[in-house]
Amino acid sequence: KNQVEQSPQSLIILEGKNCTLQCNYTVSPFSNLRWYKQDTGRGPVSLTIMTFSENTKSNGRYTATLDADTKQSSLHITASQLSDSASYICVVSFQTGANNLFFGTGTRLTVIP
Amino acid sequence: ETGVTQSPTHLIKTRGQQVTLRCSSQSGHNTVSWYQQALGQGPQFIFQYYREEENGRGNFPPRFSGLQFPNYSSELNVNALELDDSALYLCASSLKIDFLNTEAFFGQGTRLTVV
């Protein structure tokens, strides 16, 4: 069964600290893996996208890693800011098909001053 | 910004009414997918339109219907609204080349409340 699981479910950190979010998936074969940031009541915004051949991708203070062998990905946030408070969703996609996006359960991050 | 716009951003409807949500896809994209996201849940696939035809459908009843226009913008129509239809409705725009999917870009969503 194609699944995407994320941990932790929620996380509270102090402003300025780093954190790492985890994503494990069983989707196969997969085309790419994306991390999205979703503010409450808003659409997801893409942070990074990686194909199976890429190991790491950075976007400012966000760095995603991918291990296609173990089917694991992580999103590392450096020097967190209050505006980083949001849900972070890992999405794994098939290359073909209509319903080709498999959404993780999300990690709710809260950054406190 | 993704270039994908949805309207309206918020909507309140009464049970039994009908609603139409709109999505303008990113320039050059030929595919629009619609998702329903209940509070605290992940998005659920409703259906996808590719080149003006429905290309796949999730587990939603026929009262959820859609359209895609020649400019690839799309509408989601929901008839006979139920309280459980209250959710954030997302559209995602992408380019499908020879049935291969490229990255999807999401709109900001429409928050529908059914009372």
**Amino acid symbol at A90:** C
Q: A106 contacts in B (CB within 8 Å)?
A: 42
What is the per-residue pLDDT across A12-57, written as a single tens digit (0 to 9) for each? 999 999 999 999 999 877 788 999 999 988 999 999 999 888 999 9
Give the residue carrying structure tokens 């209250």: B86
Residues of A (54-113) whose Cβ lies below 8 Å from B? 89, 93-101, 103-106
Return the number of other C-beta atoms located less than 10 Å from residue A72's C-beta. Answer: 14
The rounded percent of chain B whose pLDDT value lies above 90 is: 76
pLDDT grade, residue B1 (50/70/90)?
Answer: low
Residue A29 pLDDT: 77
Residue A107 pLDDT: 96
Query: Among A37, A46, A100, A105, which would you mutate to test the B interface (most chain B Cβ atoms within 10 Å of its Cβ)?
Result: A100
Query: Among A99, A103, A107, which would you mutate to test the B interface (most chain B Cβ atoms within 10 Å of its Cβ)?
Result: A99
Give the residue carrying structure tokens 């799309």: B74
Residue B37 token pair? 């996201």
SS3 category, B8: coil
Give the nearest partner residue to A42 out of B50, B57, B108, using CB atoms: B108
- The DSSP result for B49-91, as a single string, is EETTEEEEE-S--TTEEEEE-TTS-EEEEE-S--GGG-EEEEE
Cα–Cα distance measured from residue B76 to residue B33, given in angstroms and rounded to the nearest whole number: 10
Residues of A (22-51) whose Cβ lies below 8 Å from B? 31-32, 34, 36, 41-46, 49
Residue B57 token pair? 């459908």
Give the nearest partner residue to B42 out of A31, A45, A106, using CB atoms: A106
Q: What does the mean pLDDT of chain B come to?
A: 92
Residue B48 pLDDT: 93
What is the per-residue pLDDT across A50-89, written as a single tens digit (0 to 9) for each? 988 899 999 999 999 999 889 999 999 999 999 999 999 9
pLDDT grade, residue B102 (50/70/90)?
Answer: confident
**Amino acid symbol at A73:** S
Cα–Cα distance measured from residue B32 to residue B91, given in angstroms and rounded to the nearest whole number: 7
